[in-house]
């Protein structure tokens, strides 16, 4: 089953990569997050199921560190490319099985 999940998300990775980085103030999901007391300072965000990194990179503008985790290698590869393109040095992406995520290292 996990293999099927990886294959499905790897297949969709190129489509997800085509989506733009969401903008604070206009993206509905980011609007939901805006008022949470996690932004600014030395806060760290863990983005489980980060996909191609769109939201991880957007959130990196408002915190010290974002760690994005996804089960699909192609998603993580696109996320790392996007990270370099946007010079998001405070973002790290990892390809890992979500059931084995070590939150202490996130």
Residue 22 burial by Cβ neighbours in a 10 Å radius (0-12, 13-18, 19+): middle
Q: Measure the CA–CA gap between 85 and 70, rounded to whole angstroms.
A: 19
Residue labelled with tokens 């805006």: 34
SS3 49: coil
Q: Enter the pTM of the model.
A: 0.89
Tens-binned pLDDT, residue by residue, of the chain (106 aa): 577 888 999 999 999 999 999 999 999 999 999 988 888 888 899 999 999 999 999 999 999 999 999 999 999 999 999 999 999 999 999 999 888 887 776 5
């Amino acid at each position: 089953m996990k293999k099927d999940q990886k294959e499905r998300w790897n297949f969709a990775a190129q489509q997800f990569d085509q989506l733009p980085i969401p903008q604070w103030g206009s993206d509905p999901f980011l609007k939901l997050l805006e008022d949470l007391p996690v932004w600014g300072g030395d806060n760290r965000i863990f983005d489980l199921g980060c996909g191609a990194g769109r939201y991880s990179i957007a959130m990196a503008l408002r915190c010290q560190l974002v760690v994005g985790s996804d089960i699909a290698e192609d998603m993580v590869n696109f996320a790392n490319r996007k990270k370099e393109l946007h010079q998001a040095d405070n973002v790290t992406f990892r390809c890992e099985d979500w059931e084995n995520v070590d939150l202490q290292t996130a």
